[in-house]
Amino acid sequence: MTIILNRLSLLQLDALKELGNIGAGNAATALSQILNKKVDMSVPRVKVYPIEEIPELFGGSENIVVGVLLRMFGDMQGSLMFLLDEESALKLLDMMMIPDVQHVTEEIAMSAIMEVGNIISSSYLNSLSFFSSLTIVPSTPGFAYDMAGAILGTILFEVSEMSDQVLLIETDFLGNGEAIKGHFFVLPDLQSLGILLKSVGVE
């Protein structure tokens, strides 16, 4: 079943939000264990955006962001992104007690950020897989440090071949008060979205 995004019902959107809530809860717990600090999360937002509006979610196409990108394979396909601004990335590294990091592109910094992204993405997908009974396999993580428009370009180009809109399941993580703000995005492709909804009984 292939989904038409602007025809999703409130029931379907609520089902996706609940799945996002479960996944994000597990991801927040994993991040909390890594940092040994309490990590809060926002209520997941499930929204259909025109593709050209996506970079604005990151402060504009030219805004520099640090992130980890993964692809989903198996019964469900698409992309996952864990993105932070540069200041939050450095504070994350400090909370992980990574020594003497001056810039996020240093090898030890990139390795640590990729490990965090990999752990929380895997935690998210494991819970999603459990509740949907789907096999979802993440790719190895890729590190990204660039303007938001450049990072998103390839992913959104692939999406744009099928639709001029994209559905985002979006969650914000907040650690150590206001110190760290991370954004976690799930972009399932249209066919996978239909499979996911069918798996939880909301067609």
Within the chain, where are the H helices?
10-35, 86-95, 107-132, 148-160, 190-199
Mind listing the pLDDT tens digit for each residue in 130-184?
Answer: 988 999 999 999 999 998 888 887 777 776 766 777 777 888 877 666 567 778 8
Task: Please state the pTM of the whole predicted model.
Answer: 0.82
pLDDT for res 171: 80
Residue 74: predicted pLDDT: 93
CA angle (13 as vertex; 8, 18 as ends), nearest 5: 160
Q: What is the CATH number that goes with domain 5-199? A: 3.40.1550.10
Domain layout of the chain by residue ranges: 5-199
pLDDT in tens, 85-136: 888 888 888 888 887 888 999 999 999 999 988 988 888 889 889 988 999 9
Predicted confidence at residue 149, as pLDDT, reads 84
Q: What are phi and psi of 7, to 5 degrees?
A: -115, 10
